[in-house]
Amino acid sequence: MTYIWFLLGLAGIALNLICLTGQYWGVIPLVYVCLVLCFYHVSTWKRLITVLLICCGYWLLYRHSVEAPLKYVTGSAQIKTVLTHMDHCQLSEQSLSGTGKIAISGESVKFRVRHLTESDINQIKKYDGSLEIKAAYTYQRITGPRNRFEFDMQHYWFSRGIVCQLMTNTPIMIHRVQPSIWTIDGIVSLVRSNHVRLVAWFEKLPHGLRDYAETLLLGYVRPDFYLDNQGLSQLGLIHLFSISGFQVHLVCQSWYFLCRRLNFLKEFRLWSSQLVLGFFWIFAGDNRSLIRSVVAMGTDHFVQLKNYRWTRFDIWGMTILLSLLLEPGLLCHLGGQLSCLLSFGLLWVRQLKWWQVSMMLNVLILPLLIWNTFTWHPISVLCNLVVIPCFTYLICPLVIVGVLAQILHLSPMVALIDGIMTLLQNGFAMVAKCPGEICLGQPNPICFGLLAIVTLICIIYRDCRWWRALAVGYVLILFLGGMRTTDHIVFFDVGQGDATFFKLDTNETILVDVGGKVSFNQNQRQRTRQAIYGAWPILNYLKAQGIQTIDLLVLTHKDMDHIGNLEGILRSLKVHKIVVPVGMQLSQRLLRMSPHTQVSSVKAGDALLPGLQILAPDHVGRGENADSIALNVKSHGLSMVLTGDLDQAGEERIVKQFEMMPVDILKLGHHGSKTSTGRPFLKTLKPQIGIVSAGVDNRFGHPHAEVVERLKQHNVQMYQTQECGMIRVRKPQGNLQIDFTLNPVR
C-alpha cells in the first residue's frame, strides 16, 4: 500500500462533511486528494474515485432516510408504536423519555411519554429489556439553538440520526418485548439488558468511584458527569474519558490473556476478538466515542490476519472510512472530531518521547478547543503532562481494584479508593479555578482555518519557522480578541425570564438580570445544577465574544425568572459589582447566592455610570415587582429603557419625576403583561421597537393582547424572544439594525 487508504480516509472526511452537514469548504481538500489519486495512482484512480462516489451516495441516502420522519410533523396526533430498550431510556417522576425506532418503518426518533401513572412507573422500573410503547404521538421537529453559540441540540441529534421528537400524554400500551435469543435483535437486546443491570449495580458505588468506573469500564457517561466534573473540561482533560479507547484496550487485553491461557491459536484470537469488539460496542450502547477505537482495533487485527503490508497511515485511513460508514454523524460532534484528530496526530509523533507526544497533541487540538469552548488555560498543558501517565498507571488500576473490592465486599478498600477519586475530582476543580484562564472568544472562520493548517504543518514537519508562525498567530488572535468591540444590545432568550447585555460607550460590560426557572421541591444540589444549565446560553455568548468579566450586574428584583441563574453566572464569570433595588440587599436568598461579590442598592435618580441612569424604584421595598429597577441606557448611539417587572403605577411615577426623551428601544415590563407598559408611558417614550422576553407557549399568555394593541396604536414594532430567539440591536450610522437567531414568522 502506498498511502491509498490514507488518502481515501482524508477524502472521506471531506466528503462526509459536505454530504451530511453542508460544509462546502470540504471541497478544497477533497479536490486536492482526488488530484493526488489521479496523478500518483494512475492505474487505480478510477476504482478509488468509484469508492468515494459510493460513499457519497451512501451518506446522501443516509441523510434522506434520517430526514424522512419530518413528513409527519403536521401538528396532529398519530397512532404509532415505538420500539426501544431501557438502556436508551430515562425514567423520571412522571415521564419516560429516550430514543427508539418506529415499528415497521424503522425510523429513529426521540420520544417522551408524560403523565405516567404510579402503576406504569412501578411496572417500568421492573424492566431492563426491550419495550413497545403504543400511543397517539404528536411529531415535533427538534429545534436548533435559540441563542448564538448555544449548544445546538438539533445538530447533535441529527448526528445520531434523529430529527423528530414524539410527545404523548396518554400511552395506550406499554409492555415488555422478549425477542428470540436466536435472532440478531434478541442477541442485541440481551447484551444491552446486561449493560442496564451492570449500570444499576455501578450506581450503588460511592459517588467518586462510581463516576470514573461507569465511564471507564462500561463506556457509560452519566447525564451530569461533565457538569459534576467541570474541571476536566476546563483543563482540557475531557478526551481522557470520551476518546481514550481505554475500554477497548482493556477488553482486548483481557481476551488475549484468556486465549493465551487456553492455548488458542493466534488466528482464533484475532478472529474471535472481532466478535468480542462487536459485542462490546453493543454492550456500551453504541457509544459514539468508542466507534473509532473499536474499528481501529478491528482493522489492525484484520491486517494481521491477512498479512497485508499496510502502513499505519493506511490503517488510519481505513479506520476513518469504516467509522464514517458505520456512524456517519461521527464528525458532527466534538468528541468524534477530537478522536479523529488525535489519532491523526499520533501518526506523526508516535516516535517521540511521551512528554513530547503529549505536548504535540495538546497543540494539535488547541484550535478546535478554542473554536468550541472559546477559552484556554495554560495550566492545561502541564495537567496533561502530569495527568496522562497518572491516569494510565494510577487512576485506571485503582478504578478496577475499587470495583473488585466492591464485589468482594471489602468496604474499607472501597472507601479508600472512593476517597482518592473524590480527592482527584476536587483537585481538578481547584486547579481549574487557578487564575490565568485566557478567554480568546471564537476566532474568525478564516483565522481558525489558517491556524488549523499551520498547526498541522507544525505537527507534520516540526520546522522552527512554522512554530514561530504559529506563535505569532496565537498572539494575533489574543490581540484581536482584546480589540473586539460589541456595539449590540443583546436580549437573550432565557424562556420565561429576562437577561439583557450591553456595553457602555466607556466599554463597561453590563448584564441586566440573568434569567432563571421557578421550581419547587428541589434541594440545593438540584437548584445549583439548574442554575448552571440555565446560565449556559448567556455564558457561551459572552465567552464567544471574548468577555469573561462583568463590570456591573443589575438584578431588577427578586423573582426567580430574573435572578435564578445567578449562581451559574458567578461560578463562571468575574462580576465586579451587583446592584439591586433599595431594600433587596437584605434578602437572605440573594446573600446566599452571592457571598463573595459586592452587593449595592440603588434608587431613582442614581447615576451609576455615564450612560446608565436609575429611574426606579423611588422607595425602599423588598424586591417585589413594584420595587423593580428601571434603567435609562445610552449605548453606542442607542437609547433604551428597561423596567424589569415594574407596574403601570411605577411607570407613571417615572414620567412625573423625569423629563424623559424618546427612546429607540423599550424593554416591555413584566414580559408583556397587561399590568405594565401603559399608554402614558408609551406616549412619553415614543419607542421605535418594543422587546418582549417571554417563553414559548408560556402559561401566562404573555404578551397580553391588550399590550399588543397598545403597541400598534403607538406604532411600536414588537419583537418577541419566543418567536425570534436571541435579539440583537445596534445602530450604526444612525440606522437601527436588528438580527435574530431564529426566523420569526410574520
Amino acid type, 326:
L
CA distances from 607 to 510, 617, 621 (A): 14, 13, 20
Q: Which residue has the cell 504559529?
A: 470
- Domain ranges within the chain, ordered by starting residue: 4-68, 73-177, 489-740
Helical H segments across 374-487, by residue range: 379-390, 396-407, 411-432, 445-461, 464-483
Mean pLDDT computed over 641-654 = 95
DSSP string, 47-98: HHHHHHHHHHHHHHHHHHHHHGGGGG-SSSEEEEEEEEEEEEEEE-SS-EEE
Q: Do domains 73-177 and 489-740 have the same CATH topology?
A: no
Q: Strands 108-113 and 96-102: what pairing? A: antiparallel
pLDDT digits (tens, 9 = 90+) for 684-703: 999 999 999 999 989 999 99
So what's the pLDDT on residue 482?
Answer: 64
Residue 387 has pLDDT above 90, yes or no: no
Residue 550 has pLDDT above 90, yes or no: yes
CA distances from 489 to 493, 512, 543, 738 (A): 13, 11, 16, 10
pLDDT band, very low/low/confident/very high, at 166 (cuts 50, 70, 90)? very high
Residue 436 has pLDDT above 90, yes or no: no
Residue 407 has pLDDT above 70, yes or no: yes
Mean pLDDT computed over 390-395 = 82
pLDDT band, very low/low/confident/very high, at 239 (cuts 50, 70, 90)? low
User: Do you find a cis peptide bond into 412, omega within 30 degrees of 0?
Assistant: no
Q: Strands 77-91 and 130-141: what pairing? A: antiparallel
Helix (H) or strand (E) holding 510, with range, is: strand 509-512
Mean pLDDT computed over 125-152 = 91
User: For a pLDDT cut of 70, what percent of the chain falls above it?
Assistant: 97
pLDDT digits (tens, 9 = 90+) for 519-528: 777 777 778 8
- Looking at per-residue pLDDT, the higher value among 428 and 145 belongs to 145
CA distances from 217 to 174, 246, 255, 421, 544 (A): 32, 8, 15, 15, 35
What the block records as the C-alpha cell of 408 is 468482594
CATH of 489-740, one of 3.40.50.170, 3.30.1280.10, 3.60.15.10, 3.40.50.12780: 3.60.15.10
Evaluate if pTM is beyond 0.85.
Answer: yes
So what's the pLDDT on residue 319?
Answer: 94
pLDDT digits (tens, 9 = 90+) for 303-335: 888 888 889 999 999 999 999 999 999 998 888
3-state helix, strand, coil in the chain (%, to 5): 55, 15, 30
d(CA 236, CA 49): 38
Q: Which residue has the cell 399608554?
A: 679
pLDDT digits (tens, 9 = 90+) for 703-743: 999 999 999 999 999 999 999 999 999 998 888 999 999 87
Question: Of 635, 231, 702, which is closest to residue 425 (Cα–Cα)?
Answer: 231
What the block records as the C-alpha cell of 301 is 487485527
So what's the pLDDT on residue 483?
Answer: 65
CATH class of 73-177: mainly beta
Residue 667 has pLDDT above 90, yes or no: yes
So what's the pLDDT on residue 306?
Answer: 85
- Looking at per-residue pLDDT, the higher value among 3 and 603 belongs to 603
Q: Which residue has the cell 450586574?
A: 553
pLDDT band, very low/low/confident/very high, at 243 (cuts 50, 70, 90)? very low
Residue 455 has pLDDT above 50, yes or no: yes
d(CA 678, CA 653): 12
Angle at 587 between CA 583 and CA 589, to 5 degrees: 155
So what's the pLDDT on residue 14?
Answer: 92
Residue 379 has pLDDT above 90, yes or no: no
pLDDT band, very low/low/confident/very high, at 40 (cuts 50, 70, 90)? confident
So what's the pLDDT on residue 168?
Answer: 92
DSSP string, 90-140: EE-SS-EEEEEEETTT--EEEEEE-S--HHHHHHHHT--SEEEEEEEEEEE
